[in-house]
Amino acid sequence: MIYLQLYLSFLQVGLFSVGGGYAAMPLIRSQVVELHPWMTLQEFTNLITIAEMTPGPIAVNCATFVGLRIAQLPGAVIATLGCITPALVLVSLLAWCYRRWRDLSVLQSVLACLRPGGGCLDSGGRAFDFGDRG
């Protein structure tokens, strides 16, 4: 039962947290501290600190650490899978759609319009990184 609770709790986090890992923190807190009292608020604060120091997305790190604390290694795997399931489903669906309709001229036109924006975002992020090192 704990495995199902972990999976469903972090499935909700992965599904409803829009805006990055830090946007997921209130959702994780409500699941972990309030709804299922798996941790105290102080333990959750410590969890965020450790998740920030660990490489990778903070929401996924939190899911992994909560699962590990609640149900050892199987819990860590299940909580992590719950957190990333919505993204995996969405990316798989988009990949399927692209494979199916990649030859459509409308899709190619849309992708051609998006390419410069992706390059600008990448370049802007790199310029920001380089400018911050002084």
List, for residues 88-113, the tens digit of each pLDDT value.
Answer: 999 999 999 999 999 999 989 988 88
Indicate if 22 and 58 belong to the same structural domain: yes
Residue 134: pLDDT band (50, 70, 90) is low
Indicate if 72 and 121 belong to the same structural domain: no
d(CA 99, CA 122): 25
Q: How many domains does the chain have?
A: 2
Indicate if 52 and 113 belong to the same structural domain: no
The single residue listed with the structure tokens 């959702």 is: 27
List, for residues 110-124, the tens digit of each pLDDT value.
Answer: 888 888 887 777 776
The parent domain of residue 114 ranges over 103-134
Q: Residue 131's pLDDT is what?
A: 54
- The answer to which of 31-40, 61-70, 117-126 has the lowest mean pLDDT is 117-126
Indicate if 131 and 93 belong to the same structural domain: no
**Cα separations (Å) of 75 from 2, 6, 95, 122?**
8, 7, 29, 36
Are 72 and 3 within 8 A, CB to CB? no
Are 10 and 82 within 8 A, CB to CB? yes
Indicate if 128 and 79 belong to the same structural domain: no
Indicate if 11 and 47 belong to the same structural domain: yes
Rg (CA), the chain: 19
Indicate if 74 and 114 belong to the same structural domain: no
